[in-house]
Structure 1
Amino acid sequence: MIKNKNAKVAVKPSVSKAILKLSTLSLSMMCLSLAHAEDTENTEIPEQPVKVAKVTVTGSSIKGVAAQSTSPITIIKGEDLTNQGITTVEEALTKVSANQAGFSTSQNVGASNTEGASANLRALGTDKTLVLLNGRRLAYSAFSTSTTNLNIIPLAMIERIEILRDGASAVYGADAIAGVINLITKKSYEGFSISGGFLQPEQSGGDKQDVQIFGGYGDLDEQGFNIFGVVDYRRSNDIMAKDRKVSKRGGIIPELGIDASSANGFPANFYDPTTGTLGNPYGNSNCNNTPNVVADGGLCYLNTQALIGIAPETETISAMGRGTFKLSDTFNAIGEYIYSHNEVTTSIAPDVYSRSVTLPKTSPYYPGEGITPSVDGLSGVPLQLYLRSQAGNRVSQSVNESHRAFVGIEGEAYGWDINGGVTYAKSEATDSFVSGYLNRSKLQAALDDGLINPFGASPDSSLWNSFSVTGESNVASLDSTTVDLTVSRPIYTLPAGDIGLALGGSFSKQEWEAKVNSDIVSQVPGSGIDPNKPLSQGDRDITAFFGELHIPITKTLEAQLAARYDDYSDFGDTFNPKIAFRWEPLKQLMFRTSYSTGFRAPSLYDINAPQSETYTGAKYDDPVLCSGGKDATPAQYKTECNVQFKRMQGGSPDLQPEESTSYTAGFVLEPIKNLVFTADYYNIEIDGLIDTISDAMIFANPTKYADRFVRDAEGRIKYVNTTLVNMGGIKTEGIDLTLNYLTPMTATGRFGFGIDGTYIIKYDKQEEAGGAWEGKVGTYDDPAILRWKHVANINWSYENWKMMFEQEFYRGYKDQNAIGDDAYDYHKVSDYTLYNVSGTYKGFKNLELTAGIKNLFDAEPAASNVMDNFQYGYDPRYSDPTGRAYYLRGTYKF
């Protein structure tokens, strides 16, 4: 059974003014930004009593105020993000130090069936961070079914982002092991406005444009209703490898120990299966001076990574409509609908044929037949080709479409706060071949007929494009319907205050389906998609009941208790508790601590996904056929050196849930007015980790994982098995630190300073149950586990002016691979620091303007020899290749 946890917020009749400031000053560095100049009182004005409104705070079912939370919460204002030129939720979450290397949009390059973009709190995995919208779940990505695609969430409609940096399974159920990201939308809007902006890098590619239109009508108090809508459009251009210094050398970077050129090239290499001859008719003549091709040992190798787009082209249109209707003085009805359509277009090297097409002796281009130079040792049988298409790059498109509808009520009756409703969410994902993917059968026919020259220019060069295959390759959908109800109220009065009780339950039904277009995929072996299982399906019902208590033990000490029971129709039930305390011995000092358990159920994809073959991201040497490296390998096996092998991926019906325990302890200190320091320690353990024994692990230890190599009749690797399994676990602990300060208002304005950082003390991983624990902090572990990350800013505001100077810092780490012959001499990825500056002016009537510079000093991405992504020379999860870029945006209110 799994354990569940709950993060709660206390309910208190009154809150001191100093503690209220803790909620506005200490929860986040971003909260400190320039908007606070308007929110904090002028010290010359006499203090007035403050009425504190109680609201639902992320991590609790009982209404309270953020300052009273027993769990650490970070709050980011949407307005502040906009003023920094941020237009996507993915980019916004890079400002959170607890978020380390989620799945980035750039990682869609060369990948299929992806989650688009996702968050990764505590570096525990993108499937252990729960993303909510207004406290309720969004539909997961249709391909992963366990993560939320951040690209489908329009930042324009987000009022604030609340990040609960503590396990919360006792409140929200599965997937909240690392924490919760709650996206809070605007609740009402009156009037009409339009916003737009653009970002222009100094170098080619990567420019962005966005526009938003807001409209709303109705005053809820006066007219009894409010209806509003938002339309958001965003697009960005791709960046090609040739257009950036960090990537233009592609996969040949000697100082990083990278030589990732491909034996599947042009002019084609060939293999004679009768004599075992491996060669190239132009291998000793510099490969006909073909661009991005190098000759080595009589063969021609293509530098594939010099041809790709390192950042994809994206386009998103989103819309939100919301209506709030006053049913009575105590009840409102709410209707909400959100739609998003996101397209990601990627470009990788031309289509590949690794001995899957042949050249017959009857072809005029057969070596020695008059056109192509002869090669010794040929038997006259058809030659197996290692060939690249001449129809241009393979261009793919991933489309993610999301619908979310909610109808509910909220209000108060008989002393109970009541919140309930029905949510329907659907996500649809489609991968398509746009261009550059070729029909293998048609290509083979053209080779047989002597119409295609695999070693040089063909008489009709347009013939390559006539083999093109376009259309949808994969389609998946995930439907989720949830009915939920939560009620809460004070149930008993103690000398220190009221005991708060919350009770609730929910029922969810999920249905998943994934289809492979076998007709198209079977024509394109280079796609890496298995056409043999065209349909995969799964469904489940989830029933949950939960309760929460807030107990004021004394005037300064409060306890919060929570528990949740979940029953899954496809694997069983689980019970998860949480206990937390908050102690405020002084108005300037507050301590908090919590203990909880959590779980993550294997997703529908984890259980039901078909096992299919795709190519490894990195290139390896066959540990048997190329055990001594390319130079020491017999000629007929050189193609088994430094090559992308196939790997088997997919789910398993035998998976069991992951279980976790979580402990936090911290304090909030305000020694003087407007100077706030927070420190929060976390300790998380996960058992039964659902993961893959990755291709990197398999090739790094081929003896241990010998059973993971599946070979063909010739002894060559057919694929390595990387399907999902329950592995060992993770133990991690660290500290979140924030320091924020605002000066009093002066004749020259108000100045502020903030820093938000996370220091990871320990991150140990166990590859298999009962196995050894290995320390991973400061090393690459797909992804790297950074010891320290912070975001800091200095800001100033005066009348209609606001300015911010920001620093983003990422601590360096030990790279993925060693350099040279010393297996322990790993490359060290250097620290990575970015500086950004922005300014906003509101002095025009109805118009607000913001301008800024990102990457002010044009810092290059930190050099890395990671080979798990298609981008070589740096890691796109930590470094941005865009370079210095300028942005401008404006908002006009009619």
Structure 2
Amino acid sequence: MTPTSSLARAVRVALIATSGTALMVSSNLYAAEKEEPQIERMEVTGSKIKRIGELSPTPITVITGADMMDMGITNVADILNKLPSSTVGISPETSNNTIFANGLNQTNLRGLGSDRTLVLVNGRRFVAGANGASAVDLNTIPTAMVARIEVITGGASAVYGSDAMAGVINIITRKDVQGVELDVSYEQPEQSGGEESQFSLTAGGDYLDGKLSTVFNFTYAEQKELRKTDRDFLNNPVNSIYNPDTSEGAPTRIPYVGRKPLSWLNEAGTFFADDDLQYTFDKDGNMKVFDYGEGLIEGPGNNGNYCGPSCEGYDPVDYGFVRTPLDRKVFTLNTDYQINDDHKIVTEITYVDYQSNGESTPVFHTRNFIEGDNAFLPEATRQLMTDTGMESFNLYRIDREFGNRTYNQDRETLRFLVGIEGAISDDWDYSLHAQRGQLDETTVWGGEIWGERYDQAKDAVFAADGSIVCRDADARDAGCVPLNLLGENQASQAAIDWVSTTAGQTAKTTQTSAGLVVNGALFDVPAGYVSAAFSADYRKEESETNPDQALIDGTIFGNNSLAMKGEYDVTELAAEFNIPLLADMFMAHDLGLDLAYRWMDYSTAGNDDAWKIGLNWAPIEDLRIRATRSKSVRAPNIGELFDPGGQTFESFTDVCDLINVELGPDANRKKNCQAAGLPQGWNPTPAWYQGNRPGSNAGNPDLKAETSNDYTIGLVYTPSYVKGLSLTLDYWAFSITDAIEYIDVDVAVRYCYDSASLDNVYCSRFTRDATTGDITDFVQSPVNSASFDVKGLDIEAQYDIPTDSFGDFNIHLIATYLEQWQTNPTGFAEDLQVDVGEYTDPRWKAMFSLGWKYEALSLELRSNYRHSAVEDNEWKPENNNYNDIPSHTVWDLTGSYDFSDNLSMRFGVKNAFDLEPPRNPFVYDGDGYYDTQGRSFFLGANYKF
């Protein structure tokens, strides 16, 4: 073996080109490397066994870095989320109001959750992207460093361990860069907002007589925010209201197109007087009758809480982001040092610093009493209160003086890996590595206020000398400045400064790991070599959060947080075998068996194991049939185990009371309530019914690992009589049990007593008073109660058509048909949810592309398709008249031109027909599933020297 050889590249390309599972293989890459005549063993995703020119027994999709750039994609997550096999995880489009997660970019294979998708870099784990979680933040991967991305959509725990339930994303970085490469790109939407730009410098070369090779990359990428007011279709929303037509057979709810402000809340303050009128204040603080504009929306229910677009109420369209801004800086340095012909030292260093800013409405108050002697009351208001006998009124108000609430996140990631790789003998290789990754998060909330100071400052009265002061003497001594809330911008800057504040939290996540892989040929059998890979891994995960004391004490508006510290470690041993059974026989061009087994010992979840059996059969050279059967596991992460949560208040039903105990689905409820010591005819005390009950949200240290039993069966057809054509079909199924699900107190109380006995996961979630029987405390936390049953078919077809005179054409289709998607959060039959066909899980998703290359010019037409769907499979005509959501196809036109060997440009228009999300109350704002950028144009250039 010659470790410095470039021959492995030839095998990689040959595998990609012949397997029929390649999604987007760069024609330029293939043209540059197809002349390499020799081959050597290489690693195939889904296995740690190196093989010679062999197709993977497990379905693989391959995306090249060159194709991402040609598509105008500047973030790895953006291409992964376009795959039919994937669903958007946490992203800038879905995380704006998720305080600790805004700006994250995670992918979600099969829609089973980002924590069930394992992301690797060069086959090795990467530190998590958020405190307490396990999913990797794809913002940390620079696109300019990506050679290719290999996506295996199937259980792979036997090969890679926990978190690989839905599949594996293996990101392979560039290894051989000679010289310096500059890359710039810019994307401009037709309507402003959401602009993207990227600058990248990549440099590499061989030094010390070829012993040392390096690849360095610096990437700066910026993504501007997108607000609802930046897009016509978002600025003119589609919501829903109760149907004013209440006749029999009419749907309960109907669409409402346009803005509909709240009729009882605004930025100047509004209140209801005892004369049955609603009042507000003008820009000078003068009282006036509230203007409903086009009037209150007619109809039953809460329609009257809303008014026409021009009314003076609070309009949420004016606040917050549809897409949070990102500002990323990524540094990467990878080196290989050749000790001798058989051994080399490898290092990988990654440093990422990026900021993301979420934003929502200013603080607001709906229980905000202004006393009749408040010094800021206009004379007209005083007179109104006197005339109507009001001693105080409740001021409903959005407090714009303090600015929008902002959630500023700064995330720093540092990862260092060192390893040694090489040959033990002609037949055996080894790879040994150790790595440490650390994520430091700093979160700062802006636009916050001190709750107690706000109450003190708004309670302003006249002093004996006629000055306006805070009523509370102790508050005055502490520096309280009176706060005028009557009208917009009436408060003094001094009052704003005294009441307003910021709050923050720091968090640290650390991953320490080491691994050894030994692989090679065991012995020869008539059909070939029996190959094996043996691996040992150790990993330790640690997380901690340190909130400001104000967050711990709950003294600022609407936010509290407790400190957390948690850790676990795991030791793993694994073995894989590839056994050739038949070769070059009738109906057995080749036949092989793949086996894998992994044993895991978690300090938290205990011992567990995973396994896989795969069959790879080519009855003839043109046709390959493959099948796998496996067990995968996912151990609970630190957040699920150790999240300290915080206090919460909930309203819920005690099913053991006199009325509800008789409404159980069977005799279990009554039997279990009595077994818990509650006599027949029991009721909680009168005080229990008054107000919400206190409890807490927290992790659950008693969680165990989830288990998935899954299988795939498929075929790869590459007819020799039609050159360039390939077709793959893969049927897959996942059955996940003991899945971790957060259970609220209402569900816990209900299923504690509706279960066969009191020995269940729900009864430990709450506590009863031994004397009164009242539920006095509860914990809302995750339990191993859920299940998933998901089945579908992946289809991929590719046809390359070279011509002598008109250039080369390429047709490519990749699609997923979802046959079944069922989930049950509790394990009780009545809670089974059949989601297939709903817009979150449509029957069909597909990508199609038509490419043409003629000399230096390449053009491509590409589409993304989502099948027509419904919002709710349980819909009935009386529910609403907008359950149906139409199919959706977005078209992109892209191209590139090579001016020389050193300079190339790329260009294109995304969403060329400016297709907006379906005009439906559920998805008009994209909801993470539909494009909200609208038509946008991009231009990029790459220069090598």
Fold-level similarity (TM above 0.5): yes
Cα distance 1:506–1:458, how it changes in 2: closer, same or farther (>3 A)?
closer
Report the CA distance between 1:401 and its aligned residue.
Answer: 1.7
Q: Find the counterpart in structure 2 of residue 496 from structure 1.
A: 527
Q: Find the counterpart in structure 2 of residue 477 from structure 1.
A: 508
Structure 1 counterpart SS, 2:94 = helix
2:421 maps to 1:363? no
Report the CA distance between 1:590 and its aligned residue.
Answer: 0.5
Higher Cα Rg, which structure: 2
Structure 1 counterpart SS, 2:579 = strand
Separation in 2, partners of 1:65, 1:212: 35
Alignment-mate amino acid for residue 608 of structure 1: F
Could you tell which deviates more after superposition, 405-414 or 812-821? Answer: 812-821
Which aligned pairs between 1:64-103 and structure 2 lie closer than 5 A? 64=51, 67-103=54-90
Q: Find the counterpart in structure 1 of residue 202 from structure 2.
A: 214
Separation in 1, partners of 2:267, 2:204: 59
2:794 maps to 1:800? no
Cα distance 1:373–1:829, how it changes in 2: closer, same or farther (>3 A)?
farther
Q: Find the counterpart in structure 2 of residue 266 from structure 1.
A: 267
Cα distance 1:497–1:279, how it changes in 2: closer, same or farther (>3 A)?
farther
Post-superposition CA distance 1:53-97 (Å, at most 9, x none): 321121111112575211000110000110110000110102321
Post-superposition CA distance 1:408-435 (Å, at most 9, x none): 01110134210111011111222212x4
Report the CA distance between 1:809 and its aligned residue.
Answer: 0.7
1:55 corresponds to which of 29, 32, 42: 42
Separation in 2, partners of 1:615, 1:855: 45
Report the CA distance between 1:522 and its aligned residue.
Answer: 5.3
Alignment-mate amino acid for residue 656 of structure 1: K
Q: Find the counterpart in structure 2 of residue 633 from structure 1.
A: none
2:369 maps to 1:339? no
Q: Find the counterpart in structure 1 of residue 518 from structure 2.
A: 487
Q: Which runs of 5+ in 2 are unaligned?
A: 1-7, 242-253, 282-286, 298-302, 462-481, 584-589, 656-691, 756-761, 768-775
Q: Find the counterpart in structure 2 of residue 637 from structure 1.
A: none
Q: Find the counterpart in structure 2 of residue 248 from structure 1.
A: 235
Report the CA distance between 1:443 and its aligned residue.
Answer: 2.6
Which aligned pairs between 1:438-453 and structure 2 lie closer than 5 A? 438-449=449-460, 451-453=482-484
2:768 maps to 1:775? no
Cα distance 1:243–1:458, how it changes in 2: closer, same or farther (>3 A)?
closer
Which aligned pairs between 1:685-834 and structure 2 lie closer than 5 A? 685-693=735-743, 723-772=781-830, 773-779=832-838, 784-815=840-871, 822-823=878-879, 827-834=883-890
Separation in 2, partners of 1:416, 1:337: 28
Separation in 2, partners of 1:583, 1:191: 44
2:573 corresponds to which of 522, 541, 545: 545
Structure 1 counterpart SS, 2:279 = coil
1:139 corresponds to which of 127, 131, 143: 127
1:239 corresponds to which of 226, 232, 236: 226
Structure 1 counterpart SS, 2:449 = coil
Structure 2 counterpart SS, 1:69 = coil
Separation in 2, partners of 1:304, 1:817: 29
Contact 2:270/2:280 (8 A) holds in 1? no
1:657 corresponds to which of 697, 702, 705: 705
Q: Find the counterpart in structure 2 of residue 28 from structure 1.
A: 22
Report the CA distance between 1:362 and its aligned residue.
Answer: 2.2
Separation in 2, partners of 1:53, 1:796: 32
Report the CA distance between 1:444 and its aligned residue.
Answer: 2.3
Q: Find the counterpart in structure 2 of residue 530 from structure 1.
A: 560
Cα distance 1:585–1:607, how it changes in 2: closer, same or farther (>3 A)?
same
Larger relative contact order (C-alpha < 8 A, sep ≥ 6)? Answer: 1
Separation in 2, partners of 1:551, 1:298: 69
Structure 2 counterpart SS, 1:95 = coil
Report the CA distance between 1:261 and its aligned residue.
Answer: 3.9
Contact 1:269/1:385 (8 A) holds in 2? yes
Contact 1:164/1:180 (8 A) holds in 2? yes
Separation in 2, partners of 1:298, 1:789: 37
Alignment-mate amino acid for residue 884 of structure 1: R
Contact 1:34/1:795 (8 A) holds in 2? no
Could you tell which deviates more after superposition, 418-427 or 768-777? Answer: 768-777
Could you tell which deviates more after superposition, 435-444 or 559-568? Answer: 435-444
Report the CA distance between 1:734 and its aligned residue.
Answer: 0.3
Q: Find the counterpart in structure 1 of residue 413 from structure 2.
A: 402
Contact 1:208/1:236 (8 A) holds in 2? yes
Report the CA distance between 1:142 and its aligned residue.
Answer: 3.1
Q: Find the counterpart in structure 1 of residue 168 from structure 2.
A: 180
Alignment-mate amino acid for residue 256 of structure 1: P
Q: Find the counterpart in structure 2 of residue 675 from structure 1.
A: 725
Separation in 2, partners of 1:341, 1:19: 34
Structure 2 counterpart SS, 1:86 = coil
Contact 1:479/1:512 (8 A) holds in 2? yes
Post-superposition CA distance 1:249-280 (Å, at most 9, x none): 458555536978485533435599xx9x9984
Contact 2:264/2:305 (8 A) holds in 1? no
What TM-score do you get using the length of structure 2 for normalisation? 0.80
Alignment-mate amino acid for residue 268 of structure 1: G
What TM-score do you get using the length of structure 1 for normalisation? 0.84
Number of equivalenced pairs: 827
Cα distance 1:553–1:613, how it changes in 2: closer, same or farther (>3 A)?
same
Post-superposition CA distance 1:21-48 (Å, at most 9, x none): 66446113322x544773798xxxxxx9
2:149 corresponds to which of 150, 154, 161: 161
Report the CA distance between 1:767 and its aligned residue.
Answer: 2.3
Structure 2 counterpart SS, 1:223 = coil
Contact 2:508/2:543 (8 A) holds in 1? yes
Separation in 2, partners of 1:326, 1:786: 51
Report the CA distance between 1:737 and its aligned residue.
Answer: 0.2
Report the CA distance between 1:844 and its aligned residue.
Answer: 3.2
Contact 1:391/1:464 (8 A) holds in 2? no
2:639 maps to 1:605? yes
Report the CA distance between 1:677 and its aligned residue.
Answer: 0.5
Structure 2 counterpart SS, 1:747 = coil
How well do the aligned residues superpose, as a CA RMSD in angstroms? 4.0
Contact 1:690/1:726 (8 A) holds in 2? yes
Cα distance 1:767–1:461, how it changes in 2: closer, same or farther (>3 A)?
same
2:887 maps to 1:886? no
Separation in 2, partners of 1:78, 1:293: 54
Post-superposition CA distance 1:307-334 (Å, at most 9, x none): 2221111100001011110011011111
Report the CA distance between 1:744 and its aligned residue.
Answer: 2.3
Alignment-mate amino acid for residue 677 of structure 1: L
Alignment-mate amino acid for residue 134 of structure 2: S
Cα distance 1:203–1:471, how it changes in 2: closer, same or farther (>3 A)?
same
Report the CA distance between 1:454 and its aligned residue.
Answer: 3.1
1:466 corresponds to which of 497, 503, 513: 497
Structure 2 counterpart SS, 1:726 = strand
Structure 2 counterpart SS, 1:728 = strand
Contact 2:698/2:779 (8 A) holds in 1? no
Post-superposition CA distance 1:111-131 (Å, at most 9, x none): 112271211111111111000
Q: Find the counterpart in structure 2 of residue 629 from structure 1.
A: none
Alignment-mate amino acid for residue 380 of structure 1: E
Alignment-mate amino acid for residue 134 of structure 1: N
Contact 2:280/2:487 (8 A) holds in 1? no
Could you tell which deviates more after superposition, 20-29 or 814-823? Answer: 814-823
Cα distance 1:327–1:654, how it changes in 2: closer, same or farther (>3 A)?
same
Q: Find the counterpart in structure 1 of residue 895 from structure 2.
A: 839
Cα distance 1:720–1:398, how it changes in 2: closer, same or farther (>3 A)?
farther
Q: Find the counterpart in structure 2 of residue 562 from structure 1.
A: 596
Report the CA distance between 1:390 and its aligned residue.
Answer: 3.2
Identity of paired residues, percent? 25
Alignment-mate amino acid for residue 616 of structure 2: R
Alignment-mate amino acid for residue 80 of structure 2: L
Could you tell which deviates more after superposition, 539-548 or 837-846? Answer: 837-846
Q: Find the counterpart in structure 1 of residue 434 from structure 2.
A: 422
Post-superposition CA distance 1:579-605 (Å, at most 9, x none): 101001111110100000011111011
